[in-house]
Chain A
Amino acid sequence: MSVFEFLDASYLKAQLDRLSNLNLSLAELRDAIRGPDARTLTDIYDKLSSIGGTVNVGNLPSWFTGSTRTTDDIYGKLDALDNALASVGTDKLRASLVDPLPAGDSWIGRVKIGDGSSTVAVLSADIGGSSYSGLAVAPDLTAVFAAGAAYTEQEVSVSTTESTSSFSPPLKIVRLCNEGDVDVTIRLNGSSTTKALAAKACKTIALWKVESVSYSTASGSSTLRIEGYW
Chain B
Amino acid sequence: MVTYRVKDVGKDAGYFRRLAREVTGADPFTEVHPGLVRFRFRDEVPDEKLAELDKAMAEAADGVRA
Mark A residues whose CB is within 8 Å of B.
149-150, 152, 154, 156-157, 163-169, 211-212, 226, 230
Contact = CB atoms under 8 A, between A and B. Distances in A.
Interface of B: 12-14, 16-17, 29-34, 36, 38, 40, 42
B30 A168 contact: yes
B33 to A, nearest CB: 5
A197 to B, nearest CB: 17
Contacts of B32: 165-167
9 contacts: A152-B29, A152-B38, A152-B40, A154-B33, A154-B38, A163-B33, A164-B12, A167-B31, A167-B32
A169 B18 CA distance: 11
Nearest to B11: A166
Contacts of B34: 156-157, 163-165
A153 to B, nearest CB: 10
Contacts of B14: 166, 168, 211
B42 A167 contact: no
B40 A166 contact: no
A16 B45 CA distance: 119
A226 B17 CA distance: 19
Contacts of A157: 34
B29 A165 contact: no
B4 to A, nearest CB: 14
A157 B40 CA distance: 22
Nearest to B14: A168
Q: Which of A156, A163, A166, A230 has the most CB of B within 10 A?
A: A166
A226 B13 CA distance: 15
B42 to A, nearest CB: 7
Contact of B30 (A154, A156, A163, A167): A167
Given A149-B42, A168-B13, A226-B33, 4 more contacts: A154-B31, A166-B12, A167-B31, A168-B30
A207 to B, nearest CB: 16
Contacts of A166: 12-14, 31-32
A122 B32 CA distance: 26
A165 B40 contact: no
A149 B33 contact: no
B57 to A, nearest CB: 15
Given A156-B34, A163-B34, A150 B29 contact: yes
